Structure 1
Amino acid sequence: MEEAMFLTLIILFIVFIVYGVIPWICTAVLGFGVFRKGPSCHEVAFTFSKVTWKKKVMVSLWLKWEKVFNWLVHIHPIDENHPFLNVRIRTYWGKTVQLSDGEKIKRGDHVLELHFNNEVLYNMGIQSRSTIQLAIQMIRTTEQLLPKTLPIILNHPNYEKIKALYGVSMIHRGTKQFGFTVCNLPRGPFSFFTRIYLRLLLSVVHPQGKDRLQNKVEHLVPKMMVMSTKELMRRYPS
């Protein structure tokens, strides 16, 4: 997650080019009708069944960047056949977190970090008829994939050092049922830039991204989700 913060400015520049410069050029030079007076791509609400060409360009650019980023930091799918969740093993550098099962993770512990595959998430969104259907798909897929994280931990040469599953996301409702402890990010630069980064990500890959940011901004708060390896083993014994 920290590495992504350093690349946020690059993505902001791409957003500026696609959402600001390209439409201005098309309007001023080419006179494309879609940018003339009347409902524009900035004003039309995204639906699950219709995605504008600008949205497709933004998603394509973002996902290409994301593939490069994943390769650089060794993020890979839990299941190649169902690549909804990606993982990597990393060192936790945050403050000590008390988990609901009595365990703690502290600075220097190793964790298995979870990442959504945003290409899969985007495709789920545009194929779903409603947010409820999308949520059901996400829950069912997560239920299938979470048990597969345990072999990844146990097959690692230093598995005894991996203390927890760990993730930071704005999609955190319902994660407690899987065994996660959900807590606020400590105030500071990491929390600030994480919020910017994840809201930017949502605006790009969510079919209703811009409208969701405008209408649900008070709910779009990134949270830290952590499950101890012991709790993972208890819930999903191999």
Structure 2
Amino acid sequence: MTILNIVSTVSRTGMQSAWMAWEGLFDQITKIRSVSVTQYGICKLVVRKHLGNSIACDNGYYIHAGDCVGELHLDNRKMLELSRTNGADRTALMTARMLRKSLEQISYAMEHNPELRDVKALTGITLLHRGIIHGLGFEQHPIQSKWIRVWMTFYLRFLLRVLHPVGRQRVKQSSSKLVPMMLMMSRQSLIHRFRKEVQS
């Protein structure tokens, strides 16, 4: 390993540590601003009120302003641990499997946990919608607000560069494809899909 590679690795590790410290603070702020925050496997489920325009789901259900939604956030600390011990391709496969398991747990909680009875849908914003959500049942919706779209593009690309094993390369080589999208799955669709998987 060259001196340049060593310096790059040390710098990257320092950035990752700084990011995790910031996330710890942000998690505390999120808990104060949200109805609830619960961990399900590799996902954090942040329950809050939907703001903005109504969103039509593919199955005919609508999410209106003021409705409770569950925002999905990948646990970046766990993601970082995976990326440090596995290659990029293996990390992606493991993440997809763990995400499916988390959705099974959330589906069960939706049916049995009274605290989640008002949650109308799961939502999330991600750059990795092309691969990581394949077969999970999420709908994809463009982000309507220009300013939110610009901010999320900057934020998520920076996060990818810091945490992903080959994130810097991916941002440089595929920036035109790394466009954030809103993911959506109604409560009914979630339970219908994952209840069958849990029972099978």
Normalising by the residue count of structure 1, what TM-score does the alignment of the two structures yield?
A: 0.72
Residue in 1 that maps onto 2:122: 165
Cα distance between partner residues in 2 of 1:104 and 1:55: 43
Whether 1:228 and 2:190 are equivalent positions in the alignment is no
The 1:41–1:188 alpha-carbon spacing in structure 2 relative to 1, beyond 3 Å, is: farther
Alpha carbons of structure 1 residues 102 and 41: separation in structure 2 relative to 1, 3 Å: farther
Greater strand share, structure number: 2
* AA aligned opposite 1:204: V
Residue-by-residue CA offset, 1:78-124 (whole Å, 9 max, x unaligned): 14xxxx11111011113222222222212221101100111111222
Contact 2:110 2:191 in 1 (8 A): no
Q: Which residue of 2 aligns with 1:209?
A: 167
- State the match for 2:94 in structure 1: 137
Instruction: Report the AA paired with residue 64 of structure 1.
Output: A
> Following the alignment from structure 2 to structure 1, what is the Cα–Cα distance between the partners of residues 135 and 58?
12
Residue in 2 aligned with 1:78? 40
CA distance 1:66–1:135, shift in 2 (3 Å): same
Structure 1 letter corresponding to 2:39: P
Say which SS state the counterpart of residue 73 (structure 1) adopts: helix
Structure 1 alignment gaps of length 5 or more: 1-32, 45-51
Call closer, same or farther: CA 1:53–1:235 in 2, change over 3 Å.
same
Moved >4 Å (runs of 4+): 39-42
* C-alpha contact (below 8 Å) 1:176/1:182 kept by paired residues: no
Aligned length: 188
Does structure 2 conserve the Cα–Cα contact (< 8 Å) formed by 1:182 and 1:224?
A: yes
Is it true that 1:197 corresponds to 2:159 in the alignment?
A: no
Conservation of the 8 A alpha-carbon contact between 1:112 and 1:166: yes
**Distance in 2 between residues matched to 1:178 and 1:91, nearest whole Å:** 24
Q: Which of the residues 53, 67, 71 maps onto 1:95?
A: 53
Larger radius of gyration: 1
Tell me which residue corresponds to 2:136. Answer: 178
CA RMSD of aligned residues (A): 2.2
- Paired residue type of 2:179: V
TM superposition shift of 1:40: 6.5
Give the structure 2 partner of residue 114 of structure 1. 72
Q: Distance in 1 between matches of 2:73 and 2:116?
A: 21
Q: Secondary structure at the match of 1:219?
A: coil
Distance 1:151 1:141 in 2: 16
The percent identity for this pair of structures is 26
The answer to whether the 8 Å contact 1:147/1:236 transfers is yes
SS at match of 1:224: strand
